[in-house]
Structure 1
Amino acid sequence: MASVTSLMNSTSSTSSLYGNRNVISGLASGMDTEAMIENSVAGYKTKISSLQQKMTQMQWKQDAYRSLITQMNNLLNKYTSYTSSTNLFSSSFFSKAINTVANGANAAKVSATGKSSSNVSIDAIKQLAEAASYTVGTNHLVDKGSDTSKIEWNKNVETSKVAGSITLEYGGGDKKSGSTIRLSFGEDEVFNSAQEMADAINAKLKEAKITTSSGSNSADNYLEASVDATGRVVINDKKNNNFRITGVSGEGMEKIFEETERGSLAVSKAPVKKADLVDSVGREEYLKDQTIYVNLDGKTKSIKLEDIFNSDTYKNTAKGTEQEKSEAFATALNERLNSEFNGKVKVEANADGSLKFTGPENNGSTLTIKGGSDAVNNALGLGEGGYSTTLQTSWTLKKVLGDSAAGLFTEAATNADGDYVDSADKAAKVATIEINGTKLQFGEDDTIQTVMDKINGSDAGVELKYSSMTGNFAFTAKETGADSKIDIGGTLGTALFGRVDSSQIADDKAEVNPDIKGTYTKGKDAEFVATVNGERLELTRSSNTVDLDGLSVTLKGTFDEGSEKITFTTTSDSDKIVDTVKAFVEDYNKLVTELHNAYSTMPLQDSKGNDYLPLTEDEISKNSESYIKSYEEKAKTGLLFGDSDLSNLYTRLTQSVQSSGEIGAALRSIGLSVEYSSSNGLSTLNLDEEKLRSALDSDPDKVKNAFTASTSTGASSNGIMAGLKSTLEMYGKTSIGSPGILVKKAGTTLSSYSLSDNEIQDKIDSLQKQIDKWQDKMSDRIDFYTNQFTRLEMLINQMNSQSSALSGMMGG
């Protein structure tokens, strides 16, 4: 008879039902324990298989919808996108197929597109249209911006201990990731208190974006940093949607924050003190580890300051006073600059202990000196952004305006759209630039680049550029013509660019603000002579692109009347249009056919009248690949039968391509018609190529309007592409803020966010949770029965052992 030890070691490797469990076989009892356990949990297995089949069906449906969404977006991108070369929704696509050539000795003075309904010639171009412009120097800003300050050698440099980053994940849950943002802190960012650090976190939250189901918004709408009564820095969730810190980098930052579990707030490890935030080192010690970069006319040399401090020149001449140290440093640095730039760049110490740099005096030469960070710049007295002989767009307004900044930034910003608001969203002191009646507000910490970007992105109607070669700002009105203007005002506008009132300027070109070298040039209208159907016309236009009865002519140069006229020859290249329309009809018909089949095809049933359900894991393991493939094709048939969304989409698409009224008649006249098949109830688009070619030769504008007309641009009704685009976007749009009907339902690989945020995925996730729950229940039952049978086997084995022992004692 077997011993207990042998029973314990006689385990069998069970099926996947038992996982990694070791189940003792019924050697002592004679029972098939594995079969008995499997039978006892058969109901659980059936429930799990049923749920898995439902989940597989949902996944198949999801894939079917996504396939249709992809086709819809492919059609949109190919035939309605302005980046596509086959954009049937664009007038220019049809215009490019009409080749118009200018003829005559002055043909190069124009370019033309389109086709005129009249006989047109250009007899003279007296003047081209020009935009108003204004250029102004920047010496008044460079003088202040390039000022250097005394190097305070005896004063320590404060550096940040918390250079690094905090990574936050907002929203999401156990199964989904939320929106992730990273708040980075540089070595220049020195905080003297917990409150300053909290303010800095809030400023960075304002710049970061969090994406939720309602769209993308500033992170400060959801999260806020503050300091609690104990001095800890707290990041709080304002919406109670939960967030967590997923990563902290930087030695100092890691001492303050740590990764957290998902919750409504995160708190620093301990109260935050200045000693946790700031390190203080001697100025020379700090600078020895730094590098400065000297750029002359695009050529950059890097100079390690350790080499300067270790040079004999510095060591032998640097004495105890700050002035002597500045002079020794300047002398040693000058030797290095002389060798690097052949004497073109020089530096010396001013009487106040600051550094004075000089470069070539020739016009257009630019010299910049800066460290790797503003902390280095400030330690050397170069100021924020470093030193430069020309204006740098990275300089702040406070830097370029100097002492006068305090008197300019006096207004309180409002929260109106476009107004400046500081990082803490409190009323900030600002100054105003007014251009052509548009008021823009800026804070003293805004940079010149910020000013330029905001002006260029506003409704002021001007473009502002800056050239470091000329050292000038250049304003140009966005529209040409005599009515174009550039008026500049506001306290900040006047300080930066000078005041400009175009109504007070009499000459075509005049000096304005001579103290800062401002020059204003008025705009001009185009003046030309044309003959239209035999009638001579002297014409004036504000733009150089003019319409002459359908012919679009761009004027490029001038010539006098009496020289050879410019005439035009137009030919039509219809092949590209015809080929594109043919491809469109094929792609459209493929899409509507699949849509129609999807909602009108009934599910298949087997010989017993049962639906084909997805195969279970056991069934898959027992059948061949060919059988599985054939079976799944049947099981996937009719998945979307009766879907009302697909039916409505099909109806809308059909209506889009068989427009009524004028557009409908135009479509039929150019060879596009809808054909209905009584055999399957399918309506498809048909093209008569001969009609299309004939229409392109006789009336190309009619063809163009039939495709491109849109009520949004003033047409009485939509053409074929406008209606089609509107319908396809309604159902297949992939934007996060307003996804299409089918995208909401099933998601799409074209939008990663939608993959986890759609109706079917929610159902799949719910089924997965049910499956997990039932698998846990089955696992618990298997553990229960396994333990019971194991105890039984061991008990029977013990009884058998005792029986054998008694039998031996009694002599067998």
Structure 2
Amino acid sequence: MATINGLGSTGSSGLSGYGGLASGLDRDSLIEGMTYATRAKIAAQKGKRQSVLWKQQAVQGITNKMYEFSNKFLSLSSSTSLLSGKLFSRNQITALGANSKFVSVSGSASSAEMFSILGVKTLAKNAQASSSRPVTEQVLTTGEMVNDLGTEITRDVIGGDSIYLKYGSKQYAVKLPQGGEYDYSTPEKAAMAINKALEQVEVGADQTLADVMSVTQEAGKFTFKNISSGGNALEIVGGTGNVLVDLGFLDEGESLKDLDDERKKVTADGLTAVNDAELTEKVTVASELSGKSLKFTYNGTTKTIKLGEYDSQATMDDVLANLQKGLDDAFGRGRVKADLKENSTGDKSSLTFQTITPNGEADATSIIKISGGDASLLGENGYLGIASGASNRLQLSASLKDSGLNFGSGLTMPLTISNGSDTFTLDPEKFDENSSVSSIINEINSNKDLGIHISYQESGDKFVIKSTRPGASGDIDLGGDLAKALFGEAGVDYDVQAGTDAVIRVQYAGSDEVATVVRGSNSFSLDGLNVTVNGTFGYDESGNPLKEVEAITFEAKTDTDAALKAVKEMIDEFNEILALVNGEVKQKPNRDYSPLSDEQKAEMSEQQIEEWEKKAQEGLLFGDTDLRSLTNELRFVIPADMREMFKEIGISVSTNYADNGKLVFDEEQFKEAMSLDPSKIRDALSNAGGSGAGLMTNLKTTFDKYASMTGATKGILVERAGSPHSPLSMLKNTYLSQVTEFDTYISRLNDKLKMEQDRYIKQFSSLESLVSQMNSQSSYLSQMFSM
């Protein structure tokens, strides 16, 4: 017999204080003994509460299994549904004959033998046009640069740096962007640019730094002002590079941490720089280029090429030589050719990059890109005058005139494109010749009435224009100034292929009649069959039908493998549920094991607790009325008078009484029955209710009765224990009500225990006081008699 100590003195009684200093009594132990009855009641009620929770868990384990089974085999929407009977219909349609490779088909068995296909004359294809030559020169070209690297240039010194500000308790970084609207060449322009940068930094409450700080300048000196209405402090706390010196807030060599607050705090009166700003500097082109790096990407492979160190005597030829060597080393000699293209006056040149083959010929299939590099070289204000990402292909993000299009010049406003009689005009408020190629293409593609879709193929450097109207109903007849800018002249710069319909010869069953079916798509429905044609046959080169051709016919079969797999899985999972329910009903409880109290758990290891509670959970549902009823219904889910018929299709009930109605599956018998008459199996499983109801119909009735998760009234077991698959049932069920009652009773008992403990503590305190007085008197008397 398993044994474990009962309620004991474990220090968990909740008593506190000191006892026995005068009397020598162990007050806490005595009070624990005096309150034993109440504490025993609390432990008993907690044990009963735990038993209810374990019962709920066990019942939910059963309903979870039933729920999963229902979703898989009893739901009409499931691909493995055995209730719908679709697995036993002839829905596996196969095209037969030597030409069957040209057709794929699906659909209903009733249509499979209604017609045959004698030929496919043409396939459907939407009208399409594509560039007949590259749409760009396929050369990557930088901006113009002076040939003499000793030439001095003026460059911005604060663009790309960041200012660090503390507003309230948080710090923010204000990056000073380069290019576009950000110009730092003069104090006036720099103040505007910094204010714009402040707008990009959010500080919460739908505000940005621009709402709490303003930047002004006067005679070259900057002033930062705190314009916050919230009263938060604002302070400069740092910056990258030399930005605070360049803006005049620090002297050269000064550090913010050494300054007084008045040199750092941004107040409502303003923090003014101590020096005039120095926003630009004179440098030579040689120093600007020396040691800088560029990243090139050639057909997906990226390499970094570092420029050399140049003196004032160097020229662009030296830069060219460095780049060519770097490209040869990175991608192989004879893959990318770097060159210089002089301007008309000969004082400036652009760098050009063209992909070639080792024999020196142009390579129209390869792509070279500048994919990154030093910030001072790239971007709108970079010395190279070229953006990161630029390539020897069409620049979709660039404007029409700057994208590299061969035909991008001579645009007239407004921008129009036409497709036959349909003309589309781009909104002049949104689009002009400076709009990017991608934005214009997206606008055209989104216009459904125009009926065309444009895409750019980078590898081939060409546009593909497709009609969105199916088959022969669509055409490509482009006109307008925009079409000419994008594609050039029809028949010269791009070729148009007319749209065609799919033309199929069909012969209907029981008739010599041959019909010609015309469709705008290669996939279509024909008398209940979904047909897709993917090749032509049955016609000669002149388009005349052949007299001697093997027709494509269709055969409908049942997918025996899918049906067998589903039935086998259903029987396995049914037997698991049956065994689970029977196990709970027949498992007798071990009276030596009951839920552990907190005091008992304190004396045991985690493993001992786990093993004990596993024993204590056994038999909680022994002889349960609801589960016993469920086992009886599952045992006779195949009525006795139908078992012989089910045996013929490979499904039988075990004759071993101990198996409690377990189903047995004979796969070979099932396959034979499927080959002879799949409808017999379908009827046996999915017939509607009544005396001849199918197996799955009976199972659905039983599963809904005990484990339905829907409706105002749920299944019997769900109403009793709730289920995570029915959230509302977790808020209202029989076991939850019982647990709530236990909680209420335990709370009352805890209140009673507290009152008892307080009363006994008070009594012992009085006793201690009395004993203490008596001890004092005894000591006094002893002293008097000893004198």
Secondary structure of 1:370's match? Answer: strand
Match of residue 510 from structure 2:
533
C-alpha separation in 2, matches of 1:124 and 1:746: 59
Question: Which of these residues, 177, 195, 201, is aligned with residue 197 of structure 1?
Answer: 201
C-alpha deviation, 1:635, in angstroms:
3.9
> Does the C-alpha gap of structure 1 residues 111 and 119 become closer, same or farther in structure 2, counting only changes over 3 Å?
same
C-alpha deviation, 1:496, in angstroms:
9.4
Match of residue 387 from structure 1:
390
C-alpha separation in 1, matches of 2:212 and 2:676: 82
Q: Please give the residue correspondences for 1:47-58 in structure 2 after superposition, counting only pairs within 5 Å.
A: 50=45, 54=49, 57=52
> Does the C-alpha gap of structure 1 residues 226 and 577 become closer, same or farther in structure 2, counting only changes over 3 Å?
same
- Deviation per CA, 1:76-125, whole angstroms, max 9, x where unpaired? 368879997x5769999778974735223x44433455655537543332
The one-letter code matched in structure 2 to 1:158 is G
The one-letter code matched in structure 1 to 2:94 is T
Question: Which of these residues, 109, 112, 117, is aligned with residue 122 of structure 1?
Answer: 117
Question: Which of these residues, 522, 525, 533, is aligned with residue 555 of structure 1?
Answer: 533
Match of residue 367 from structure 1:
368
Q: Does 1:300 align with 2:302?
A: yes
Higher mean displacement: 122-131 or 376-385: 376-385
C-alpha deviation, 1:127, in angstroms:
1.6
The one-letter code matched in structure 2 to 1:586 is I
In our comparison, the structure showing a higher alpha carbon Rg is: 2
C-alpha deviation, 1:130, in angstroms:
2.4
- Deviation per CA, 1:588-617, whole angstroms, max 9, x where unpaired? 85699799999x99999999xxxx995543
C-alpha deviation, 1:347, in angstroms:
5.9
Q: Please give the residue correspondences for 1:348-497 in structure 2 after superposition, counting only pairs within 5 Å.
A: 348=340, 356-360=351-355, 361-371=362-372, 377-378=378-379, 380=382, 386-391=389-394, 448=438, 466-474=456-464, 481-483=471-473
- Deviation per CA, 1:37-61, whole angstroms, max 9, x where unpaired? 5468876896698579657845863
- Deviation per CA, 1:141-194, whole angstroms, max 9, x where unpaired? 99999875889744532245689xxxxxxxxxxxxxxxxxxx999997998455
- Deviation per CA, 1:312-335, whole angstroms, max 9, x where unpaired? 33x4557xxxxx8x8876664454
Alpha-carbon contact 1:194-1:273 (below 8 Å) kept: no
> Does the C-alpha gap of structure 1 residues 720 and 634 become closer, same or farther in structure 2, counting only changes over 3 Å?
closer
- Deviation per CA, 1:623-643, whole angstroms, max 9, x where unpaired? 98776434323446799979x
Secondary structure of 2:618's match? Answer: helix
C-alpha separation in 1, matches of 2:752 and 2:161: 59
Consecutive unaligned residues in structure 1, runs of 5 or more: 1-12, 164-182, 202-223, 234-266, 319-323, 411-430, 499-510, 659-666, 676-681, 710-718, 734-740
Q: Does 1:231 align with 2:190?
A: no
Q: Does 1:15 align with 2:10?
A: yes
Q: Please give the residue correspondences for 1:81-120 in structure 2 after superposition, counting only pairs within 5 Å.
A: 86=80, 98=92, 100=94, 102-104=96-98, 106-112=99-105, 115=109, 118=113, 120=115
The one-letter code matched in structure 1 to 2:533 is L
C-alpha deviation, 1:132, in angstroms:
3.6
C-alpha separation in 2, matches of 1:802 and 1:156: 92
Question: Which of these residues, 519, 522, 547, is aligned with residue 544 of structure 1?
Answer: 522
Instruction: Let me know the Cα RMSD of the aligned residues.
Output: 7.7
The one-letter code matched in structure 2 to 1:231 is V
C-alpha separation in 2, matches of 1:80 and 1:634: 33
Greater percentage in helix: 1
C-alpha separation in 2, matches of 1:384 and 1:294: 12
TM (norm. structure 2) is 0.53
Question: Which of these residues, 20, 27, 36, is aligned with residue 33 of structure 1?
Answer: 27
> Does the C-alpha gap of structure 1 residues 302 and 227 become closer, same or farther in structure 2, counting only changes over 3 Å?
closer
The one-letter code matched in structure 2 to 1:526 is V
Alpha-carbon contact 2:123-2:503 (below 8 Å) kept: yes
Alpha-carbon contact 2:161-2:175 (below 8 Å) kept: no
Q: Please give the residue correspondences for 1:127-166 in structure 2 after superposition, counting only pairs within 5 Å.
A: 127-135=122-130, 153-159=155-161
Question: Which of these residues, 617, 631, 640, is aligned with residue 598 of structure 2?
Answer: 617
C-alpha deviation, 1:409, in angstroms:
12
Secondary structure of 2:514's match? Answer: strand
Secondary structure of 1:368's match? Answer: strand
> Does the C-alpha gap of structure 1 residues 269 and 784 become closer, same or farther in structure 2, counting only changes over 3 Å?
farther
C-alpha separation in 2, matches of 1:613 and 1:525: 78
TM (norm. structure 1) is 0.51
The one-letter code matched in structure 2 to 1:358 is F
How many residue pairs align between the two structures? 620
The one-letter code matched in structure 1 to 2:296 is V
Identity %: 19
- Deviation per CA, 1:716-743, whole angstroms, max 9, x where unpaired? xxx989x99xx99x9779xxxxxxx99x
C-alpha separation in 1, matches of 2:324 and 2:397: 26
The one-letter code matched in structure 1 to 2:121 is K
Consecutive unaligned residues in structure 2, runs of 5 or more: 1-7, 146-152, 166-171, 179-193, 215-228, 244-278, 356-361, 540-545, 640-644, 654-659, 688-695, 711-717
Q: Does 1:346 align with 2:350?
A: no
C-alpha deviation, 1:474, in angstroms:
3.5
Secondary structure of 2:118's match? Answer: strand
The one-letter code matched in structure 1 to 2:504 is E
Alpha-carbon contact 1:527-1:539 (below 8 Å) kept: yes
Alpha-carbon contact 2:93-2:106 (below 8 Å) kept: yes
C-alpha deviation, 1:286, in angstroms:
11
C-alpha deviation, 1:359, in angstroms:
1.8
C-alpha separation in 1, matches of 2:156 and 2:233: 31
Question: Which of these residues, 632, 652, 677, is aligned with residue 617 of structure 2?
Answer: 632
C-alpha separation in 1, matches of 2:397 and 2:56: 54
Q: Please give the residue correspondences for 1:577-588 in structure 2 after superposition, counting only pairs within 5 Å.
A: 577-583=562-568, 585-586=570-571
